[in-house]
Structure 1
């Protein structure tokens, strides 16, 4: 099919595609999502088909307001009230128990819970309102690949497979939302994001974090817990600042083009590297988080690049989300563990 590019003033046409059971990618402050009417099981199944996504990987339901969530959940606890007041619209996804039959198992991965988010992007909020129903929205990319932060990334992966994409320019945060599970006795972060553990604890008190990789026979409660994610074609090696001299010396011996994904400060030390094989993460963890997926996709456009040296950061604050994504893109491979030193 032809994949249309909708501008923000063409939301009526985009909403009509969703209402007809088609897929339309949409912008958020985190990454672009692949939208389908959450109440239309046939449409939701198309999401898995277009992405090549495993069917037991649950989808996040995007809503325009808190009132919509309350229509579907069995309970809306006081902690959910406080978190939505503090962080919605925004980069926080909340898992809650559902009323029986609220959504099809295609949406929930067969679980009796669902993950809800109210994105901080007015274009998408208006799109959901025009549709009049919640919208599922996993990242709008081929499953396992880096998430899209630009409409062109969506088109690279999904052109011809979806009806359209609403182009609202680059996303702001660049990493997917924090996911917190409120369906059990203890609030637990299942995926770190821009809303940090400290941010949440300041609102609802002590919580736990569990970013473990789900086993083969388990059903994940949130995306990113079980399957390969964020991986470009080249092998990524997590590289600490102090290890870059040795890492680059080693990479030069491998007889293949390699990419360097690092801050301007690191890149400035290697002027001999070809500009095409350098990608700037800016000057801080904030800019690095914003540019990580874009950088991984940049090197995916260069098939000759077989390895990527990517800068690590402290796991404090936003660094926890950055390192969570980087570790998965690298398959947990650190430079110092490659035998290259």
Structure 2
């Protein structure tokens, strides 16, 4: 995959400066970008995605950008994490600077910021407003759907023409969204992991000197934290490895068409196997769900991954993808 040329990057930056929408690759998933300081442009993101306006988006910054322009405080803990993990798949929730539009934060006093490592994302951020601007960019898909990890996924989602330009940077390396860590309430709650990702709770604890807490009822709203999210159109059911053969047999006896996403050995005909490592599985997860969703099956059966800490982010995405399908096996059988 050849990366976009500099003139295409410049065109994308110009479109953003005009208040238009540009989809671009990051190392996690593709983002749907707009000028983070333009409330009208941010509103176009929400309209294109069908996203609730109180659901905040993440602001992406170039490595050289002035973080202090975007936030009102940079705690020591934040700087330590930035030094350790930026550029990379870590979003920090910090107090929003007063002059930054509330629209980008879903009306909250906090704001999510990150510095992506993908070379196309970095080139775009450096071209946009001389590298000092911020690009608000949730995942480039309709709200609640499976996130895109290829430019074609974005084209499929927005065939309506609501996206002005799509930069193609190949398949996203990580394949699931960034870890989100709330540091906006350190004095009262300490660091709080709102969404797990490639950067694990253990890695964060190694830098912070304390394990991040689980989300609490008063935590800031953040991207991708609703109970139902990342969902294909086909119902999804998670099944433990030991129970798979019996469940597959029962569904076949009931005349149901089943597609299977698995990581261990399986003899099922309509199946897609992902790697048995957390990183490899995450890399192929969303593309795999999209392939299986296109099969028009009665259900996507997913072999439940291990429950160890290094699988936390994958299990988080699968749980949310299956949330609206609770009870589907009972109904099919």
Q: 1:56, 1:219 within 8 Å by CA — same for their partners in 2?
A: no
Distance 1:299 1:211 in 2: 32
Per-residue deviation, 1:285: 2.1
Q: TM-score, normalised by structure 2?
A: 0.91
Q: 2:93, 2:184 within 8 Å by CA — same for their partners in 1?
A: yes
User: Unaligned regions of 5+ residues in structure 1, if any?
Assistant: 1-5
Per-residue deviation, 1:334: 7.3
Q: Does 117-126 or 252-261 show the bigger shift?
A: 252-261
Per-residue deviation, 1:227: 5.7
Q: 1:219 to 1:24 in 2, by over 3 A?
A: farther
Distance 1:322 1:113 in 2: 26
Q: Give the equivalent residue in structure 2 for 1:108.
A: 105
Q: After superposition, give the CA deviation of every residue in 1:262-307 in whole Å (9 maximum; x if it has no partner).
A: 12x323x33xx1xxx32221232221111111111112222x2120
Distance 1:87 1:219 in 2: 23
Q: TM-score, normalised by structure 1?
A: 0.89
Distance 1:26 1:130 in 2: 13
Q: Give the equivalent residue in structure 2 for 1:64.
A: 62
Q: 1:334 to 1:288 in 2, by over 3 A?
A: farther
**Residue 203 (structure 1) aligned with residue 207 (structure 2):** yes
Distance 2:215 2:288 in 1: 24
Per-residue deviation, 1:257: 1.7
Distance 1:209 1:8 in 2: 43
Q: 1:180 to 1:8 in 2, by over 3 A?
A: farther
Q: 1:25, 1:33 within 8 Å by CA — same for their partners in 2?
A: yes
Distance 1:260 1:33 in 2: 28
User: Unaligned regions of 5+ residues in structure 2, if any?
Assistant: none
**Residue 165 (structure 1) aligned with residue 158 (structure 2):** no
Distance 1:196 1:241 in 2: 24
Q: 1:8, 1:166 within 8 Å by CA — same for their partners in 2?
A: no
Q: 1:189, 1:210 within 8 Å by CA — same for their partners in 2?
A: yes
Query: Which of 168, 188, 195 is the equivalent residue of 2:192?
Result: 188
Query: Which of 276, 294, 319 is the equivalent residue of 1:301?
Result: 294
Q: 1:161 to 1:319 in 2, by over 3 A?
A: same
Matches within 5 A, 1:1-341: 7-9=4-6, 10-65=8-63, 67-102=65-100, 104-132=101-129, 133-159=133-159, 160-185=161-186, 186-211=190-215, 220-226=220-226, 228-263=228-263, 265-267=264-266, 269-270=267-268, 273=269, 277-302=270-295, 304-331=296-323, 338=330
Number of residue pairs the alignment of both structures matches:
323
Per-residue deviation, 1:318: 3.3
Q: 1:225 to 1:300 in 2, by over 3 A?
A: same
Per-residue deviation, 1:142: 0.6
Cα RMSD (Å): 2.2
Q: 1:230 to 1:211 in 2, by over 3 A?
A: farther
Q: 1:211 to 1:247 in 2, by over 3 A?
A: farther
* SS across alignment from 2:66: helix
* SS across alignment from 2:237: strand
Q: Does 189-198 or 70-79 show the bigger shift?
A: 70-79
Per-residue deviation, 1:220: 4.9
Distance 2:156 2:138 in 1: 16
